[in-house]
Structure 1
């Protein structure tokens, strides 16, 4: 069974958890580490000739066009993560469309590839923002990977289907959805898709969970951010205890877990897993 491997390409200071401390206008003040950390990811994937999907912010692509081209030239899939890392349900439909269109234009210009995939910042397509699917379809996006079938303080559609499915809209159009992976435990979905969960949980649990999905003939999907492989990143001061834990826990072990995952399982870009 082939699983999907994905990376959300954003810098350490752009995460939603820091929005109360760092504004969009302040981003240029912070030293960027996204290029060196993305190169680290590319190096790890090259060790086993693994290809992945890179959901990139348009803001990042504009500032690092050579990195965009490098990812595309290495045979990976480029997809959009929006332009300015704005949560979907905090935008109006017009604001969302402008952000999406800008990101697609930038990524296609620098990658020379067609952008067919989207992931919302902070998985922020929830039931109240399903209108976003109509905008994605309008802009020729063939698949989305934003729905997390869990309960969380910032995101989640706990009653969503857990594996790839087609979302049908009222106008007859449709789009493929690849939800983030969960393990079903009694009445609840347990997140195993990556990010902070991958950093927090022991490797044996990640391996067990993904193997269980594959035994059911279901593909898993994993995600990471470049900053999660960077234990030496600058620390943001005066943040809450919860935010500090979520962002910095086990950064030192991420690279090794990624290496073990691509050794123990088969991975490919989303477009290949979904045969798009």
Structure 2
């Protein structure tokens, strides 16, 4: 990690999970993957707005991007790289790692990395699993990531949730597999002590839209100030798009999670960019992952 100067708050890692509105896990039960090409794509325009906001704020971030998106929008990938951001992988088809198994996972990340590196012309070192689906049921995942050329993962969320979460996972950078990549878990705030306490989410996404902004700001400041460690924030381009199509046949809970707070997300994001210091994942956690910047794309496994 980048060590802050005495009295200076740590720099946090800003990240974006680049996927379109119809690719989210909340709608997986009512939108088939094979039908994706039939939907109106909004990801390029929305990610462009994100890039504009980052440019205005003078920050660089990490874009965990679906290979499916990169294949259809290579100009977007080139813009991400040209503007100094880190290009990273979100897999190819947004399939949950704990459901597809080791062989399909290897094929998915290999395909995604190939598409991303061909479009961006840089090495793709980072990976984030769709729906934080790496955990106790995927003990092989971190080793497979290393074998396929990745340097780090940001796929574990140490919280309890009905869709994801590994509440007993370490809250800081760690190596779950001796031959695997470094894991940079999503940020949580520990409350109630080590023995009986619990981790509260402090990393963005739906939590950021649902909770009062001052509460989120206080939690991240405590992580930065009391614990003297950087946090990781994430969001999706569709979260700044309140005009996106509505999926009428989605369940009530899915609609609540997806649509609540969309109209205020852009304003909250602008405030967040002003209130904290931000950087790319590979820069903020350079010491942990042993790589400070993206390099020219190396040869890939056949």
Q: TM-score range by the shorter chain?
A: over 0.9
Residues 114-142 of structure 1 deviation map (CA, whole Å, 9 limit, x = unaligned): 00000000000021112111110101211
Q: Which residue of 2 aligns with 1:228?
A: 239
Structural mapping, 1:1-150, within 5 Å: 1-150=10-159
Structural mapping, 1:187-226, within 5 Å: 187-215=197-225, 216-226=227-237
Instruction: Give 1:13 shift.
Output: 0.3
Instruction: Give 1:11 shift.
Output: 0.2
Distance in structure 2 (CA, Å) of the matches to 1:238 and 1:60 = 24
Gaps of 5+ in 2: 1-9, 292-302
Q: Which residue of 1 aligns with 2:175?
A: 166
**Equivalent pair of 2:129/2:155 in contact (CA under 8 Å):** yes
Residues 63-93 of structure 1 deviation map (CA, whole Å, 9 limit, x = unaligned): 0000000000000000000000000000121
Q: TM-score, normalised by structure 1?
A: 0.97
**Equivalent pair of 1:163/1:219 in contact (CA under 8 Å):** no
Coordinate RMSD, CA, aligned: 0.8
SS at match of 1:234: coil
Matched, 1:255 2:266: yes
Structure 1 residue ranges, 4+ long, deviating more than 4 angstroms after superposition: none
Distance in structure 1 (CA, Å) of the matches to 2:135 and 2:88 = 20
Instruction: Give 1:165 shift.
Output: 2.2
Distance in structure 2 (CA, Å) of the matches to 1:118 and 1:174 = 13
Q: Which residue of 2 aligns with 1:182?
A: 188
Instruction: Give 1:166 shift.
Output: 2.9
Residues 158-195 of structure 1 deviation map (CA, whole Å, 9 limit, x = unaligned): 001112223342xxx24211111111121111112101
Q: Which residue of 1 aligns with 2:251?
A: 240
Q: TM-score, normalised by structure 2?
A: 0.89
Distance in structure 2 (CA, Å) of the matches to 1:65 and 1:103 = 13
Distance in structure 2 (CA, Å) of the matches to 1:107 and 1:22 = 25
For these two proteins, the number of residue pairs brought into alignment is: 273
Distance in structure 2 (CA, Å) of the matches to 1:243 and 1:167 = 31
